[in-house]
Structure 1
Amino acid sequence: MITWIIIGVIVVVLIFVVVGAYNKLVALDQRADQSFADIDVQLKQRQDLIPNLVETVKGYATHEAGTLAAVTQARAAAAGATSVNDKVAAENMLTGALGRLFAVSEAYPDLKANANFQQLQAELSDIENKLAAARRFFNNAVAEFNAVRRQFPTVLFAGLVGYGSDKPFFDVGEGDRAAMNAAPPTVNFQA
């Protein structure tokens, strides 16, 4: 009789541990998904600014068609990406194309002085800052999810309930990593 009571208590404790661990996985998965949705909002705002930016540059730099086409193609790829890995790759390509676009603008003093271009550049810079914060939040949520998924006792049943693999981080690409190690750009407010 006492053996059955001990077995019953152990089973109840195990059920509570498993249910608690499962609920924590679900909550962390939801937090990571919500964090990625926040990134999606910022990416959409950035993608919506790009056609205006391209049109503004077109008026000044008509012979830079290759750069403008690259930005347009990169934006289309970013807008069509669905998975985290596809979005990361497409956004890294878009960031590189935008960098080339801003490099082109350096050759056109009239463009740099254009109020519309300056406003679009400021809005894009603001969105980039928000994106950086959203990426940090997402990567933190993913790290927490991945850590809990690998911990005991969660690791014993995570695969059985649909959480068998780690979530991917929103990582900067090799080009961005190289740019982070390069010298910072020089800012000159004198047109």
Structure 2
Amino acid sequence: MLKQEVYQRAIKFAGEKHCDQLVPGTTANYLLHLSNVAMEVMVAYQNEANFEINTAVQLALLHDVLEDTKTSESELVELFGDEIGVGVKALTKDDDILDKQEKMADSLRRIKKSYKEVSLVKLADRITNLQQPPKHWNTEKIKKYWEEATLIHQELSGFNKFLDQRLAAKISEYQKYWSEDTL
């Protein structure tokens, strides 16, 4: 059962850390994205309770805190424990890798080596991100994002049937933004 205190503590921390960040291409505060990822995780749990919900929700709310803010790994571990620190670190792309495809491959390798909830959050994150793309994205960028989503689905499927199906549906729907049939 999800403990409200767990959610409230993580979302407060994330809200403070991401306070100046917006959802790309919008005027919405970044907390919208984080709460949507957490919502995907919570709905997945209602459909298939095969994971630790408190861990997954914390990861959902904190998954970008190392990548997008000045939060240190030690600060995260001190406040949320080793398990959350390890999970968020696995979800954080390595900025030392310059090639975008290699960066994603590395990220997926680390996620797959981690515990189940990390993979679930990556699935939920991509589901949430497969909305209408920002207006400044060109067709090639949209298509590459779709290809990346397809790769994530292939690499991380099997941890939660509900999230697998949600991501497959979102990938199919997202194709309309770049498909030759719709251009």
TM-score (norm 2): 0.33
Higher RCO (C-alpha 8 Å, min separation 6):
1
> Greater share of helix residues, 1 or 2?
1
Structure with larger Rg: 1
